[in-house]
Amino acid sequence: MNPKDKKERRWLFEVALSVAHELRARRVGTSLLIRRPTRPYSTGTDGWGVVIGSLGKGRPGLEIWLDRFTRLPNRKFYATFYSRKEPAIRALAFRSKALWPVRKLTFDDLADSAIVKMKKKLHPKEFNEPVLENYRKNRRHFFGFYDGTTGLAEKAAQRFCQSAVAFFLDVANSLPASKAKIAKRQVDPQNEPKKWVKAHLGRERSRLLALACKRRDHYKCQVCDMTFSAIYGKDLGEEFAEAHHIKPLSRTPVNAKTKLDDLETVCSNCHRMLHCMDNDPSDVKRLRTLVRKFRK
């Protein structure tokens, strides 16, 4: 193995260690079993995979990969649930209301070559979004996401870790084992009908989507323009913010899927204020005007 490959394989292991460590600390209330990452194994996709845990004995496993499956010149990280049983993976992909597969892949999407890779490269929009892969011929089934982060290696790896933890927890939390715990954790902002709050917060609960929203807005409140790091300093405030769902739920079906465009980054104060308003898409804009008026 050439030195560059060796280095990347080592890097994969270290990233897998961080994801496992973070998940172990946050798995309470879910059925996630986290183990010490296995040695990286060759995946046949010009890269390697590492097993970091499972959803229980005989149930889908959790894996982190680094490979060229998506046909991009550099190897990309991939976080996925894996099983030999198709129904087990399909159940994961379709159970969660917060996450759903934006792309499905089957054998027809694979190129005919010694290295397993896609025929056409993955669209930029399909990175950081859940992908369902069912390869019936060899009974390999996956539900995961490809990391599209570019930039400095260290920072990129850190971002992937955050996304991977968010993804695994989103899926694990949508499984029945943890339902009771989720209900308990529910915040209940004042003066709001319970049912509405529950549905609304459910939509804001996807960690993966919320992360994507906050990164898109650079963690800046879209109402008052504040960033937590400007007030509380980098150590405490960096990459802190909340995601708010802007669509009126009364006019959308209960199981409508949340899109990134439905979320806005807000600070905790503005978020509370928004939840005291009319539950209308214009709330963000109206609150913004209000803040500007009273600031003068």
Binding residues for Zn ion, per CB under 5 A? 221, 223-224, 244, 267, 270
Tokens of 102: 């934006």
Residue with Cβ nearer Zn ion (92 or 246): 246
Please list, in sequence order, all residues whose beta carbon lies within 8 angstroms of the beta carbon of residue 274, skipping any fewer than 6 positions away.
Answer: 223, 244, 266, 283, 284, 287
Q: Residue 67 carries which side chain, given as an amino acid letter?
A: D
Please check whether residue 263 is in contact with residue 213, taking contact to mean a CB–CB distance below 8 angstroms: yes
Residue with Cβ nearer Zn ion (45 or 265): 265
Residue with Cβ nearer Zn ion (127 or 228): 228
Q: Which DSSP letter does residue 77 get?
A: E
Quote the least distance from Cβ 246 to Zn ion, whole Å: 8
Quote the least distance from Cβ 242 to Zn ion, whole Å: 7
Residue with Cβ nearer Zn ion (126 or 217): 217
Residue with Cβ nearer Zn ion (224 or 260): 224
Alpha helices in 112-227 (DSSP H): 153-173, 179-185, 194-204, 207-216
Please check whether residue 133 is in contact with residue 141, taking contact to mean a CB–CB distance below 8 angstroms: yes
Residue with Cβ nearer Zn ion (155 or 218): 218
Cα–Cα distance between 218 and 19 in angstroms, integer?
23
Residue with Cβ nearer Zn ion (166 or 223): 223
Q: How many CB atoms lie within 10 A of CB 275?
A: 19
Quote the least distance from Cβ 267 to Zn ion, whole Å: 3
Please check whether residue 204 is in contact with residue 225, taking contact to mean a CB–CB distance below 8 angstroms: no
Cα–Cα distance between 19 and 30 in angstroms, integer?
16
Quote the least distance from Cβ 273 to Zn ion, whole Å: 8
Quote the least distance from Cβ 222 to Zn ion, whole Å: 8
The alpha carbon of residue 48 and the mean position of all alpha carbons in its chain are separated, in whole angstroms, by 21
Sign of dihedral through CA atoms 234, 19, 21, 132?
positive
Q: Which DSSP letter does residue 172 get?
A: H
Q: Is 188 exposed, middle or buried (0-12, 13-18, 19+ CB in 10 A)?
A: exposed
Quote the least distance from Cβ 286 to Zn ion, whole Å: 14
Quote the least distance from Cβ 94 to Zn ion, whole Å: 25
Quote the least distance from Cβ 241 to Zn ion, whole Å: 9
Residue with Cβ nearer Zn ion (180 or 231): 231
Q: How many CB atoms lie within 10 A of CB 184?
A: 8
